[in-house]
Amino acid sequence: MKKLLTLLVSLLLVGATAAFAACTENGDGGNGGNGGNDQDQGQTGDDQNDDDDNTGDETQENATIADEALKVNLDGHDLYVTSIGQAADYDTLVTLLTNSKTVGLTEGEDFTANSTLSSSAVAAGDTVIIVAGASTKGMGGAGVDAASEIQRAQDFAARDDINIIVAQLGGSARRGETSDAIFAALCPAASVTLIVSSADNDGMFSNTWCASTPLYKYSRATNMADSWKFLLGVE
């Protein structure tokens, strides 16, 4: 009888050990992480605080734009830089454009910077560089929200009498529900889109948003400098 009880206890212990090991191996199993950049992951990313082929050579990483048809016509027309999504990338671009070692423009003389520019304030024939990408902290600081920024994107896209250039400087960190809605509205209406390459890891820029418009990719924002000089006619 004692031998039988001992055998039963041993079998129960073996079963319990195997079950525990299986649970440990599988872990929590289910969620697979945060599911994208809409979660708070530090100071950057969509709604946070702060290489698939397309066509031709335009998808070559770090290629300087050389298509004369894409040059901005500033003869009698104004140039604006604005943000949709209010991410810090807007300040990055303004700095890139004004730094004498990169592009060398003068804010207030060569272009007007206004992070909350309205499409109605832009005259026909003018050019607007839109730095797209959402930041919860940035939108809160500007007194706007996701819905109003997406609407601004749609309002600009509806203006077929102005020239829109889209810039995405935040890479994969500046992707998410709000940012993607902004890109979906703006990119098809843009004359050209410049992005940090990691933003297109899923091919959405190459295959969907910019499928029928010029797209240029760069490993980092500073590598866009020569393309900005070409587009804006800076010698």
pLDDT of residue 7 exceeding 90, the answer is no
d(CA 207, CA 218): 17
3-state secondary structure of 162: coil
d(CA 116, CA 153): 11
- 108-154 pLDDT per residue, tens: 999 999 999 999 999 999 999 999 999 999 999 999 999 999 999 99
> Using CA of residue 198, residue 181, residue 127, residue 170, what is the dihedral sign?
negative
Confidence of residue 31 (pLDDT cuts 50, 70, 90): very low
Alpha helices (H) in 89-224, listed in sequence order:
89-98, 136-142, 146-157, 177-186, 204
Confidence of residue 235 (pLDDT cuts 50, 70, 90): confident
CA 28, chain centre distance (Å) = 31
What domains are defined for the chain?
56-231 (3.40.50)
pLDDT of residue 82 exceeding 70, the answer is yes
Query: Rounded to whole angstroms, what are the CA distances from 24 to 13, 30, 32, 33, 179?
Result: 17, 14, 16, 17, 37
Give the pLDDT confidence score for residue 60 in this predicted structure.
66
Give the pLDDT confidence score for residue 152 in this predicted structure.
98
pLDDT of residue 2 exceeding 80, the answer is no
Q: Work out the percent of the chain whose per-residue pLDDT is above 70.
A: 74
| Whole-structure pTM value | 0.78
Spatial neighbors of 220 by CB under 8 A, at least 6 apart, are 196
d(CA 103, CA 70): 17
